[in-house]
Chain A
C-alpha cells in the first residue's frame, strides 16, 4: 500500500519534472527569439540591397541577394572612421584613468583605515546612484566654462562620473576578500604599501580588475547623454552619437548603412562579451549594476 503511493508519487514527480523542463525550454526559446530579433533584423537589413529594402511586397525577414555594399560604403566613409577613432581614444583614456583612480582608492578604503573612510565608501556608493541625466546640464556649463565643449577631451573629463564610482565599489569588494594574513606577511617582510598593492593585491584581485575594466569599457563605449549634450560637430563625435545623428540625418534614410554602422559600432563590446563572458557577468552581479 505504502509502496504503491510511493510509486505513484515518484511517477507524478517525474511527470512534473518533465513538464517543468518542457516549460523551461519553451520559455527560453521564445525569449531567445524575441531578445535576438532586433540585432538579427539589423544584420538582415544591413545585407539587403536598397532595391530589395524598398520592395514592400516580400518578407522583410529574408535577404534574397545578400550584399556587403553597405559595409563597404560605411568603412570607406572617412566620417565613420573618425567616429571610431574618437570612440577608441575617449574609451581608452577613460578606462585607464578610471582604473588607476579606483584601484588606488579601493586599496586605501579596503585596507587602510583613516578618518572618514567609512563615509567615503558610502559616498562612493551614493554617487554611483546619481544618474548622468541629472548632471549633464550643470556639467554642460562647467565643461563650457573650461572651453572643452565640442571636444573629445571634454568627454574624457566627464566620463569618470560614469565609471569611477562603480569600479571603486567592486574593487573594494575584491580587495576586502583577500585574506589579511597576506598583507601582514608582506608587512613583516618589509614591503611598503605601494609594493603591497602592486605585488600582492593587483595580481590576486586580477579577476576583479578585469571585471571592472570591462565595465568601464562598456559604459564609456555606450555613453550617450554626455556626447549628445556636449558634441555638436561630426569630427569630434564618438560612435554612438555619430551613428545616430549624422547617418540618420541624411535626406533619405540610408537604412542599410545605418544598420551596418550600428552593428560595427556595437561590435567591440560584443566581442569583449563573447570572449570574457564570465568576467562580464561577475562584474555585472558584483553590486547591482544599472539596469
Chain B
C-alpha cells in the first residue's frame, strides 16, 4: 500500500548524467513519441473540453451569441439550483463520513480476526464495489419499491412502521445516501485495511509493554500512522461522491420535486434533456472550484507522503 501510493510523483526518472548528448536527444524524442498518445488524450479529451465548457457556458440558450456570465446569473437567482447545491454538499459530506466510518470500523474488525479467514471475508465484503453501480441500484430501487418493499417487510418484523423510501423528500435523500454508502464503504475498508497492515507491529508491541489501552493504541499509533491515507481517501471520495451521477439517476431521477438532484444529474437534465447546453455546462462548472480545492489538498497529501517515504 505504502509504496504503491508513493510510487506516484517522484517515480519520474531521476536526472542521470548521460555522457552522449546525442543519445540523450534521441532518447528524449523517443520518450516524447511514447507519451504523445497520452498527451493527446489529456489535451484533447480533458483540457480542451474543460476549456470548451467554460466557453459554452457563456453562450445564449440557442448558442448563437455570447452572453458573458448571464447563465451564471440566472442560476444564482434560481431556487432549484440552490437546492441542488445544498443537496450535493449534504449528500457528499454525509455519505463520505458514513463510508469512512464504516470502512474504518470494518477494516479494524478484519484486521483483528486470524489472517487465515481474512481473505474470505474481504472477498465477500468487496462485492458491492464490484457490481456496476447503475445495475446494483436497480436492485435497491426494487427493494425500496413502495408496494412490494422488501425492506419495509424486514422493518415490520421489528415492528417499525413502513418507510416511504423514495416518496418523501427527506427519506428520498436518505435512501440515495444509503445506496452510496453501501457502494463505497467496501472501498474505504480495503484502503484502510491495506494501511493498517503497513503499520509496523513493533509499535503495538512497544505500546503493549507500556500498558497502553486499546483506545490509546488507536489514538496514538494507528490514527497518526494512517492520517495521510485517511485524508487522501476521504478527499478522493469527496470528489467522486460530489460528482456522483448514476445512483440518483436510477433511483429517483432527481425527484421528488427536484429535491434529490445533484450537480451532475441537474446538469444532465438541464443540458441534455432540456437541450439548454450552455446552462448545463454552467451547472457542472459550479463543481469546479470545490473540486480544485480538494485536488490541491490531495496533491499536497500525496507529495507529503512521498517525502516521508523517501
Give chain A's interface residues, CB within 8 Å of chain B: 16, 20-21, 23-25, 27-28, 31-32, 34-39, 41-42, 45, 53, 56, 59-61, 100-102, 104-105, 107-115, 117-118, 120-127, 129-142, 157-158, 160-161, 164-165, 168-170, 172-177, 193, 218, 221-222, 224-225, 228-229, 240-241, 243-244, 248, 255, 258-259, 262-263, 265-266, 269-270, 273-274, 277, 280-282, 284-291
Contacts and interface: CB of A to CB of B under 8 A. Distances in A.
**B interface residue count range (under 10 / 10 to 19 / 20 to 34 / 35 or more):** 35 or more
A287 B8 contact: yes
B49 interface: yes
A241 B134 contact: yes
Nearest to A53: B148
A27 B109 contact: yes
Contacts of A221: 132
Contacts of A111: 13
Contact of B27 (A124, A193, A225, A229): A193
Contacts, number: 348
A191 to B, nearest CB: 13
B8 A125 contact: yes
A169 B9 CA distance: 9
Dominant SS at the B interface? helix
A286 B2 CA distance: 9
Nearest to A60: B150
A185 to B, nearest CB: 15
B135 A107 contact: no
Given A60-B148, A137-B271, A114 B131 contact: no
20 contacts: A27-B109, A28-B125, A38-B139, A39-B131, A41-B143, A45-B139, A61-B154, A101-B41, A117-B13, A124-B42, A126-B299, A133-B284, A133-B287, A134-B53, A134-B243, A135-B49, A165-B42, A173-B4, A229-B268, A274-B123
B52 A41 contact: no
Nearest to B243: A131
B226 interface: no
A46 to B, nearest CB: 10
Contacts of A222: 132-134
Contacts of A265: 132, 135
A5 to B, nearest CB: 12
Interface of B: 1, 3-5, 7-9, 11-16, 27-28, 30-32, 34-35, 37-39, 41-42, 45-50, 52-53, 56, 99, 102, 105-106, 108-110, 112-113, 119, 121-136, 138-140, 142-143, 147-148, 150, 153-154, 182, 184-188, 190-191, 194, 214, 232-233, 236-237, 239-240, 242-246, 249-250, 263-264, 267-268, 271-272, 277, 280-281, 284-285, 287-288, 291, 294-295, 298-299, 302
